[in-house]
Amino acid sequence: MELISSDPFSWLAYALFFAGAPLLTGFVNKLKARFSGRFGPTVFQPYYELFRLARKETIYSVHAGFISRLAPVIVLCTAAFAALFLPLGKTAAITFPGDLILFAYLLALGRFFQILAALDTAGGFEGMGASREARFAVFAEPIFFFTIGSLAIVTRSYSFTSILVGGISWSDPSFVVFVSVGLLSLFFLMMSECSRMPVDDPNTHLELTMIHEAMILDASGVDLMLYQYTASLKFLLYCVLAALLLNPFGVFGPAIGLVVFAMTLGGMAAGLALVETLMARFRLVLVPQFLLFATAIGLLNVLIFIRL
Amino acid sequence: MIWFFVISLLLEALSFVMPAFVRESRRLNVAVNLLNATALLLGLTFSLSGLLVYQYVEYQIELPAAGPVVIGFDGLSLFFLFTFQLLSFAASLYAIGYLRDYIERGFSVRAHLSFFTLLIVAMQLVAILHNALAFLIAWEAMAVAAYFSIVFDQDREDVRRGGFWYFVATHASALLLFVCFLTLHEKTGSWNFNDFASYTGYDTQTLAIVLLTGMIGFGIKAGFMPFHAWLPNAHSAAPTHVSALLSAINIKAGIYGMARLMMILPALSAAYGWGLLAVSLVSAVLGVWYALAQHDIKRLLAYHSVENIGIIGLGLSVAWLGRCYALPELVVLGFAGALLHTLNHAIFKGLLFFGAGNVYQRAHSGNVENMGGFARVLPLTSATFLVGAISICGLPPFNGFASEFLVYKSFFRTADLLHGYAPLAMLVSAVGLAFMGGLAVACFTKLYGIVFLGVNRSGIAPQPQSEPASSNIPLLGLAGLCALLGIFPQIGLRLASPALNELANSAQAPVGWASPLAQLQIVFALFLALVAICYGLKRWWQSKAGVRVHETWGCGYARITFRMQYTASSFAEELVNLGRPMLAVGMKWKPISTILPTAEAFHSHCHDRMENGWLAFHGVIGRVLALFRWIQSGNIRHYVLYMFAALFFYLLCALVWN
């Protein structure tokens, strides 16, 4: 398998992926508004906000050093680079055995800089957000390895491409259960990693309860734009991962594959909108329990895994 | 080439005796350390060229009692020799500036410099002596030299205490090793490792004794849980250049011993491999969790050594399983992960300790709660410490990732090749490794963020001053190595490949089995290019859109002070609480009772349950032995009587047995 894809279609898919990231966020916001009986802003609203931020000047704290200036770029690049491992075409843009490990660790690198950038400002709110992010992120990687790692062991392949493109045998019923359970823990992982309800509230801004928004409280201008764009990129990343996982037909196979892919994406967005409409954010002490629950689902996966 | 090494040892012998001739401390400090550095540079030339153009060479020296002492330069010895020399070189340079501070405060460094040199020499000898008796002598010399190097600042109570912890631990280790090697000698009639390896008449019981005593003996030195309790105490007590040596390479002598035992003994039951896996996993996860709870910068780093030793142990246990099931691929992968992590950990841990030492000298305390804003005071230390912090968390593109990647890969391959519950165990191990990765990120964002970022928490901002030039070279050099071995991990693998070939006992090229490592460099090059381009674009765009510097936004509150920042304790509190049953957190405070409270204080401290367990254990031993204290009367005539009694006893024994 070649390291870097030469398939122009997959690169086109990546272009769509990077361009379309804010659209999914806009879609969720629209759905949320509709569910709660409001009309809501257009689905393109996130784009307008990104453009607005890009035009503004950037203000740095007097205490901030090079970390604050570098972090937005690192956070963006890690998420964007991790996306290149997902097989959006017949194969991923970059694929090699073990890319799923690099995927998890790249996202961790982004988180590392995000937390440091928060502590760089010397503000109390940012420190609070950073502490919470570090705390909840501890659970993210076990959940990821319980789902994707067990899939890798079962399919005996260690790259996203070989797992997601033809690695899963859909005729085996225990695989179907396996993938569905994995999908559930991915959904929980997405809620925590993308700072959505019930772990974090992307809308509150000046409460003592926020996590991601607290960390970027002092970011402005282009930096804030990069953070916001990365947030929507990560959201799309997890949704696409789920959609690729739950697709017996293959995205670039028959047309129905593309339909199933789009439906899963929409389903994830709708599910999230539903959860955010119906539920309030958890009290912070409850969040570790929620994440432990998601890890426990991963354990359930393992029990099935013994069966295989 | 061997003459390079001989000259290097001679130069070190010269610097060992030099304190007896040079009177002036300042000059002595520079002379001894520069001489050591020169000697180690020669030694490095020897070991590096030996690894790159590898051919097994051995020399024999006749010694009384021990018979022919084999000095062997096989792949494993050369690899560890290289690692030891590399870090000793860096520590020698660093010691120049670090000790100058002590000399100015009136410390005598004469004896310390001799013992420091002895420590460096003894560690090199441990790696190359292939004769059990000579090995044990070098091992003890290393232990004694390390003890005296630790108790440099002996007026401090905690230093004497930490030194004593080390002393007890290292003797417990030596005692077990004596049993281990004497059993081997009894069986084979030789002291040489080669003869141990070629002997075929081992029975299971002997092997079990040898393995258990050897593994525990070396495990105490390496700092596996529950034998780690000496580590944080000794590391925080020692002066920085010594703690860097202890943490980066001295504990690796234990790893060397374990790898050597696995090389010379036939593969025994897989149960030992699974046991080692469990111990390593516990060491790794609890090590980083305890680290998270520490307030002292050196104690925190010491607990991280326990974590990293655990990761190395994970690699070793996979290699063990590979040997038991006769799967050379697993042996190579497991050892590749373990050896690479040994080298990588030595590099970044040395780097982190040197950085911590620079901070310690400015803050005059290791307590991170009083720190903050050191990035402005010590820019170079700050930048290199960041590199070390990213490396130790195992994050790409630095060297920690390369070795953890190999460990992951060895887990996945084991799951492939073994059946039954092995895949499940490997999945749990992989999840454990991921979990401790998350904890390490929390721990090092805390350390770096609290120490280097923000505003100083003691209220007195330290003045910016340049770091001593002698610390710049090791800091920059080690940070450069972190990047080099991270982006081009096959360099490290190339250095380990002679050892891997010998350990797997096969002629196949092991580099092929670890092939994704070669692909990583292209991926990292692309990633770094992406970051550079994005950063350039961002700066260009910002230059058009405008940049302004202003006070941190306090959400409308105008009187922000440095005390409103998050502290290290508050940053880690919730995660520490999650580990509650294992981590005992003691808190002391008085509830506020009046309407207008005056000054209140809050203290929290995390106890190490295993350390407390050892203390209780030693307490029991002490109480039992106290029953015999009357023997020590202090009266010299009684002692003369004891001597006569003993002599009489031996004579009687000799008479009876003849």
Is the pLDDT reported for residue B259 higher than 90?
yes
Whether A112 sits inside 8 A of B395 (CB atoms) is yes
Name the residue among A73, A149, A288 with its Cβ closest to that of B534: A73
Average model confidence (pLDDT) for chain A? 86
Chain B contact present for A206, CB below 8 A: yes
For an interface test with B, which of A59, A62, A189 has the most B Cβ atoms less than 10 Å from its Cβ?
Answer: A59
Radius of gyration for chain A, computed over Cα atoms and rounded to the nearest angstrom: 19
In the predicted model, what is the mean pLDDT of residues B586-601? 80
Smallest Cα–Cα separation from B254: which of B291, B216, B197? B216
Chain B residues within an 8 Å CB radius of A97: 409, 515-516
Name the residue among B430, B522, B527 with its Cβ closest to that of A81: B527
Residue pLDDT, tens place only, B184-224: 998 888 888 888 888 888 888 888 999 999 999 999 999 99
Chain B contact present for A40, CB below 8 A: no
The structure tokens 């049953």 sit at B581
Asked whether the CA dihedral A117, A121, A126, A131 is positive or negative, the reply is positive
Name the residue among B372, B401, B416 with its Cβ closest to that of A156: B416
Chain A residues within an 8 Å CB radius of B544: none
When pLDDT is cut at 50, 70 and 90, the band that residue B534 belongs to is very high
Most confident region among A63-77, B363-377, B406-420 by mean pLDDT: A63-77
Helix (H) or strand (E) holding B194: helix B193-198
Is the pLDDT reported for residue A227 higher than 90?
yes
Residue A306 corresponds to which amino acid?
Answer: I
Write down the domain spans for chain A: 8-307
> How far does the CA of residue A37 sit from the closest CA of chain B (Å)?
32
Residue pLDDT, tens place only, A125-183: 888 889 988 988 888 888 888 888 888 888 888 888 888 887 777 777 777 778 888 88
Is the pLDDT reported for residue A306 higher than 70?
no
Q: Token pair of A16, please?
A: 């769509």
As a dihedral over the C-alpha atoms of residue A285, residue A289, residue A294, residue A298, rounded to 10 degrees, the angle is 140
Smallest Cα–Cα separation from B496: which of B55, B58, B76, B44? B76
Name the residue among B423, B435, B560 with its Cβ closest to that of A138: B435
Residues of chain A above pLDDT 70, percent: 95
Chain B contact present for A303, CB below 8 A: no
Predicted local confidence at residue B511, as pLDDT? 55
CA distances from A146 to B114, B411, B518 (A): 52, 14, 27
Chain B residues within an 8 Å CB radius of A4: 522
Name the residue among B416, B426, B545 with its Cβ closest to that of A57: B545
Region of residue B144 (phi > 0: left; psi between -120 and 50: alpha; otherwise: beta): alpha
Residues of chain B above pLDDT 90, percent: 53
**How far is B198 from B77, CA to CA, in rounded Å?**
18
Is the pLDDT reported for residue A307 higher than 70?
no
Predicted local confidence at residue B68, as pLDDT? 85
Whether B427 sits inside 8 A of A217 (CB atoms) is no
Chain B contact present for A58, CB below 8 A: yes
Cis previous bond, B597, omega within 30: no
Whether A149 sits inside 8 A of B431 (CB atoms) is yes
User: Higher confidence at residue B651 or residue B153?
Assistant: B651
> How far does the CA of residue A52 sit from the closest CA of chain B (Å)?
12
Is the pLDDT reported for residue A239 higher than 60?
yes
The answer to whether A305 touches A150, Cβ cutoff 8 Å, is yes
In the predicted model, what is the mean pLDDT of residues B339-356? 94
Chain B residues within an 8 Å CB radius of A94: 523, 526
**How far is B658 from A270, CA to CA, in rounded Å?**
93
Whether A97 sits inside 8 A of B530 (CB atoms) is no
DSSP-assigned letters across all residues of chain A? --SB---HHHHHHHHHHHHHHHHHHHHHHHHHHHHTT-----TTHHHHHHHHHHHSPEEEETT--HHHHHHHHHHHHHHHHHHTTS-SSSS-SB--TTHHHHHHHHHHHHHHHHHHHHHHTT-HHHHHHHHHHHHHHHHHHHHHIIIIIHHHHHHT--SHHHHHTTTS-TTSHHHHHHHHHHHHHHHHHHHHHTT-TTT--SS--SSTT-SHHHHTTT--HHHHHHHHHHHHHHHHHHHHHHHHHS-TT-TTSSHHHHHHHHHHHHHHHHHHHHHHHH-PPPPGGGHHHHHHHHHHHHHHHHHHHHH-
Chain A residues within an 8 Å CB radius of B538: 72-73, 222-223, 226
Is the pLDDT reported for residue B559 higher than 90?
no
Chain A residues within an 8 Å CB radius of B560: 123-124
CA distances from A179 to A184, B414, B429 (A): 9, 23, 21
- In chain B, which residue's Cα lies nearest the Cα of A208? B555
Predicted local confidence at residue B107, as pLDDT? 86
- In chain A, which residue's Cα lies nearest the Cα of B430? A145
Count of C-beta atoms within a 10 Å radius of residue B324 = 18
For an interface test with B, which of A55, A106, A112 has the most B Cβ atoms less than 10 Å from its Cβ?
Answer: A112
Chain B residues within an 8 Å CB radius of A65: 375-376, 453
> How far does the CA of residue B335 sit from the closest CA of chain A (Å)?
18
In the predicted model, what is the mean pLDDT of residues B375-388? 91
Smallest Cα–Cα separation from B604: which of B586, B590, B581? B586
Q: Token pair of A202, please?
A: 């992307």
Predicted local confidence at residue B513, as pLDDT? 64
Average model confidence (pLDDT) for chain B? 89
Is the pLDDT reported for residue B509 higher than 60?
no
**How far is B425 from A296, CA to CA, in rounded Å?**
16
**How far is B339 from B495, CA to CA, in rounded Å?**
10
> How far does the CA of residue A23 sit from the closest CA of chain B (Å)?
22
Chain A residues within an 8 Å CB radius of B546: 57-58, 221
Is the pLDDT reported for residue A119 higher than 80?
yes
User: Higher confidence at residue B81 or residue B58?
Assistant: B81
Is the pLDDT reported for residue B155 higher than 80?
yes
> How far does the CA of residue B489 sit from the closest CA of chain A (Å)?
14
Predicted local confidence at residue A207, as pLDDT? 57
Counting other chains too, the contacts that B24-29 makes at CB distance below 8 Å and 24 or more residues apart are B25/B103, B25/B108, B25/B109, B25/B110, B26/B100, B26/B103, B28/B109, B28/B110, B28/B113, B29/B95, B29/B96, B29/B99, B29/B100, B29/B103, B29/B109, B29/B113
Predicted local confidence at residue A260, as pLDDT? 86
DSSP-assigned letters across all residues of B80-145? HHHHHHHHHHHHHHHHHHHHHHHHHTT---HHHHHHHHHHHHHHHHHHHB-BHHHHHHHHHHHHHH
Alpha helices in B265-327 (DSSP H): 270-292, 297-324
What's the whole-model pTM score?
0.93
**How far is A128 from B370, CA to CA, in rounded Å?**
18
Predicted local confidence at residue B594, as pLDDT? 81
Is the pLDDT reported for residue B436 higher than 60?
yes
When pLDDT is cut at 50, 70 and 90, the band that residue A290 belongs to is confident
Predicted local confidence at residue A206, as pLDDT? 59
Chain B residues within an 8 Å CB radius of A111: 441
When pLDDT is cut at 50, 70 and 90, the band that residue B510 belongs to is low
Predicted local confidence at residue B567, as pLDDT? 86
The overall longest dimension of chain B from CA atoms, in Å, is 99
**How far is B290 from B283, CA to CA, in rounded Å?**
10
The answer to whether A56 touches A221, Cβ cutoff 8 Å, is yes
Chain B contact present for A271, CB below 8 A: no
Region of residue B555 (phi > 0: left; psi between -120 and 50: alpha; otherwise: beta): left
Is the pLDDT reported for residue B565 higher than 80?
yes
Whether A65 sits inside 8 A of B574 (CB atoms) is no
Most confident region among B49-58, B380-389, B491-500 by mean pLDDT: B380-389
- In chain A, which residue's Cα lies nearest the Cα of B421? A306
Smallest Cα–Cα separation from A107: which of A193, A25, A219? A193
User: Higher confidence at residue B620 or residue B204?
Assistant: B620
Whether A122 sits inside 8 A of B454 (CB atoms) is yes
Predicted local confidence at residue A252, as pLDDT? 67
Chain A residues within an 8 Å CB radius of B516: 96-98
Does ipTM surpass 0.85 in this model? yes
- In chain B, which residue's Cα lies nearest the Cα of A289? B578
Query: B252-276 as b/e, with b when 16 or more CB fall inside 10 Å?
Result: bbbbbbbbbbbbbbebbebebbbeb
Chain A residues within an 8 Å CB radius of B542: 58, 221-222
Whether B570 sits inside 8 A of A98 (CB atoms) is no
**How far is B382 from B389, CA to CA, in rounded Å?**
10
